Amino acid sequence: MTMAQITSPGPAQLLKFVREFGLTLTVVVLFTTLVLLIAGAPPLDAYFYILKGSLGSWVKISHVLKTWVPLTLCGAGLLYTFRIGLWNIGIEGQVMMGAVFATLTLRLGLNSQWPMWFLGLSFAAAALGGGLWALIAGFLKTKGGVNEIFAGLGMNFVAQGLILWLIFGPWKRPGVASMSGTEIFPQSLWLPYISSLRLSPAAIALAVTAVLITAVMLRYSRIGLCLKAIGGNSQACVLYGLTPTHFMLLAMMFAGGFAGIAGCLQVSGVYHRLLPAISSNYGYLALLVVMLSNYNVWVVPFVAFFFACLNVGSIQLPMMLQLDSSLAGVIQGALVLATLAVSAWRGRRAKIFEAQTQEAVAK
């Protein structure tokens, strides 16, 4: 896996970056347009509606931000696991467990005088829940030697099952059991929000701090360095007196913790209840975000914002063009693939160039 080190881009690099980004974008646009044509849809309208549907009004932008927050949180968390070379696919389940723990705490606070306390507590609980869930996968990897991808994936399905059981069982609404989730929480247990936009500043703040903390940790802290080193060559790190497995677990905890907080925000900030799809695939999507950001913490928030726009805007497709909104996913996937292809292509071109020059030298 390519682990990018965090380098401050100089003007030349920036120019190259822009050029490659342009190339990538054209590739993607061509591909998506093709797909749209296959589906017999007017491409330009499609793009237009997605744009309008995501940035067309303040309300829409607030929806985008609602999606941006969990994506960024998960993205930040994933940077730790990617650093040490772990594929934390289990992040989806970690979001869910965060949501479950948050719901549990809020339920305890249902008829207490100080709801705010429980609201605050729910974040800690969520981080804990996500972290523990991640630890399970971590131990399966370090102690049991189970590939983290399968461990994580399995845990995701288990978490999903757990949520369903809670919703249809212990936490079901009186009489009814329905996919629409548990009984909605009273306003007092909602995360405070700007009523006109139904958007809570606290959530935004959390996401931003997550990014900053991660940046500092990875760049300046010893832990960050160790993660990178172990990711590069865990065997050698033993010589430097490090214990790779410990750091793996640590990284998993970080990822799980951030994911858990994202889950908590989904409950207390967005849905105000627990529902089966509480994680909304943000975990999986965050994996793409981080890949597309080339594992660079500063790029993550922007990519996350872009992806959020696609997600929110694509709801216009079924409304205006009778298309399925899953086009968003197609575009996101295509973007990542195209980036990989372009960077690889650059690498090859460099190699070929070198070879030619050497031939010239030799002759």
Partner 1 sequence: IVAFATGVASAAKEQFKFGLLLVGPYNDHGWSQAHYEAGHYVEKNVSGTQMIYIDKVNPADRPGVTIPQLVDDLVEKGAKLIIANSDDMKDGTREAAAMHPDVKFLHISGDDVLTGKSGKNLTNLMGRMEYGKMMAGFAAAMTTKTGKIGYLGPLVNEETRRLAASCYLGARYAWEKVLKKDVKDLKFQVTWIGFWFNIPGVTADPTQVAQNFYDTGYDVVISGIDTTEAVVVAGQKRNEGKKVWAVPYDYVGACDGASAVCLGVPYFNWGPSYTELIKEAMGGSWSPKWLWYGPDWKNINDPDTSTIGFVYGAALGDDAKSALNTFIADLGTGKLNLFKGPLSYQDGTEFLKTGVSATDKQIWYMEQLLKGMDGQSSAK
Partner 2 sequence: MNEFQVSILFAAVVAGAAPIILATLGETITERAGLINLSLDGSILLSAMAAFVTAYLTHSVAVGFIIGALVGALVAVLVAVFSIYLSQSQVAVGFVLTLMARDLAYFIGNPYSRLQGPQVMPLPIPLLADIPFFGPVFFNHNWPVYLSLVCIGILTWYMYRTPMGLALRAVGEHPKAVFARGMDPKKLQLFYAVCGGLLVGLAGATFSLSTKPGWGRPQGAEGTGWIALALVIFGGWHPVKAAIGAYLFSFLQVMGIYLQGWLPSIPTQVFQVAPFPLMIFTLLLISLAQKEAFLARVEKMPWIRPFIQMLSGTPPSALGKPHEAE
Partner 3 sequence: MRVELENIHKHYGSVRANDGVDLSVQGGEIHGILGENGAGKSTLMKVLSGYIRKTAGTITVDGRQVEFRSPGKASECGIGMLYQDPLDFLNLSVLDNFMLGQVSGLKNEREYYRRKLLPLSTHFNFNLDPNSPVSRLTIGERQQLEILRLLSIGIKVLILDEPTTGISEIQKQTLFAALKQLAREGKSVLLISHKLEDTQVLCNRVTVLRRGKVTGHMEAPFDTRQLLDQMFDQLPTPPSRLKASPGDTILSMSDVVSTGGRTGLQKCNILVRKGEVVGLAGLEGSGQGVFLRVASGMSRPKSGIVEVDGRSMIGKSHREFKDAGVTFVPTSRLEEGLVPGLDITEHFALNARKTRFFVRWSNALSAAKEKIEMFRISGRPRSPVQSLSGGNQQRLLLSFLPEAPRLLLLENPTRGLDVESAHWVWRHLQTYTARNTSIVFSSAELDEIVMVADRILVFFDGKIVKDVRAEDTDSRELGRAIAGEI
Contact between 56 and partner 2 (CB under 8 A)? Answer: no
Which of 186, 232, 333, 347 forms a contact with partner 3 (CB under 8 A)?
Answer: 232
Least distance (Å) between residue 101 CB and partner 1: 20
- Which residues are CB-contacts of 222 (< 8 A; sequence separation ≥ 6)? none
Stretch that binds partner 3, among 11-19, 166-174, 218-226, 254-262 (CB under 8 A): 218-226
Least distance (Å) between residue 278 CB and partner 1: 8
CB 115 within 8 A of CB 189: yes
**The token pair that represents 151 in the structure block:** 């461990």
Alpha carbons 346 and 151: distance in angstroms, whole number = 35
Q: 175-212 as b/e, with b when 16 or more CB fall inside 10 Å?
A: eeeeeebbeebeeebbbebeeebebbebbeebbeebbe
Least distance (Å) between residue 232 CB and partner 1: 36
Alpha carbons 196 and 193: distance in angstroms, whole number = 9
Q: 4-41 as b/e, with b when 16 or more CB fall inside 10 Å?
A: eeeeeeeeeeeeeeeebeebbeebbeebbeebbeeeeb
Q: Binding to partner 2 (CB under 8 A): which residues in 301-360? A: 323-324, 326-330, 332-334, 336-337, 340-341, 344-345, 347-348
CB 129 within 8 A of CB 303: no
Contact between 38 and partner 3 (CB under 8 A)? Answer: no
Which of 107, 173, 198, 228 forms a contact with partner 3 (CB under 8 A)?
Answer: 228
**Interacting residue ranges for partner 1, rule: CB under 8 A:** 53, 57, 59-60, 63, 66-67, 157, 160, 164, 168-169, 172, 175-181, 184, 198, 270-271, 273, 275-277, 279-282, 311, 315-316, 318-319, 322, 325
Side chain identity at residue 97, one-letter code: M
Tallying the residues shown for the chain, one arrives at: 363
Contact between 145 and partner 3 (CB under 8 A)? Answer: no
Stretch that binds partner 3, among 25-33, 107-115, 200-208, 227-235 (CB under 8 A): 227-235
Least distance (Å) between residue 176 CB and partner 1: 4
Which residue ranges make up the site for partner 2 (CB under 8 A)?
Answer: 1-2, 35, 38-39, 87, 89, 140, 144-147, 149-151, 153-155, 157-158, 160-162, 164-165, 168-169, 284-285, 287-288, 291, 323-324, 326-330, 332-334, 336-337, 340-341, 344-345, 347-348
